Amino acid sequence: MSRTSIDTPLAVEVAIRQEKAGALRRVGDTLEKMLVELKTLESELRTLNGPPRTKRLTLYQQIRADAEYQRWCLVVQREAMGLFDHSEVDLMYPVPPQLK
C-alpha cells in the first residue's frame, strides 16, 4: 500500500476520524434527546402538586444528572480531538437548572 502524498491520510486514519465523528454525533444526539425530555418534564412540573410532582421531579433530577454526564463526555471527546473551545457546546446543549 502506498500513498500518493505524505499529506494523504491512510485508510485507517480516515476510519479513525470517522469513528471519532460518529462518537461525537451519538453523544450529541443522546444529550439532545435528554434536553428535550427535561423541557417536557419542566412544563409538567409547573402543573403538578403533591406526590405526582415529587415523582416527576425525581425523574427530572435523574435525567438532568445523566444529561450533565453526557455533556461532560462530549466535552472530553472534543478535547481528545484537540477542540478546546466549548462555547458551541454551551450554546447547543444548555443543561437546565436544578428544580425544587
Domain-located, residue 38: yes
Task: For residue range 25-59, list pLDDT tens digits in order.
Answer: 999 999 999 999 999 999 999 999 999 999 999 99
| Domain-located, residue 30 | yes
Question: 59 or 18: whose pLDDT is higher?
Answer: 59
| Those residues with Cβ within 8 angstroms of residue 96's Cβ, 6 or more apart along the chain or in another chain | 35, 38, 39, 42, 64
Chain centroid offset of residue 23 CA: 10
| Entry field: residues in the chain | 100
9 in any annotated domain: no
DSSP letter for 84, please.
-
- Name the residue with higher pLDDT: 20 or 30: 30
Number of domains forming the structure of the chain: 1
All three cell numbers of 1, joined, read 500500500
Per-residue model confidence (pLDDT) at position 9? 83
Question: Would you say residue 36 lies in a domain?
Answer: yes
97 inside domain: no
Q: In sequence order, what DSSP letters do the residues of 42-95 get, joined into one string?
A: HHHHTT--HHHHHHHHHHHHHHHHHHHHHHHHHHHHHHHTT----HHHHHH-PP
Classify residue 47: in a domain, yes or no: yes
For residue 15, tell me if it sits in a domain: no
**What is the pLDDT confidence band of residue 75, given thresholds at 50, 70 and 90?**
very high
The answer to the question of residue 21 being in a domain is no
In the predicted structure, residue 3 carries a pLDDT above the cut 80: no
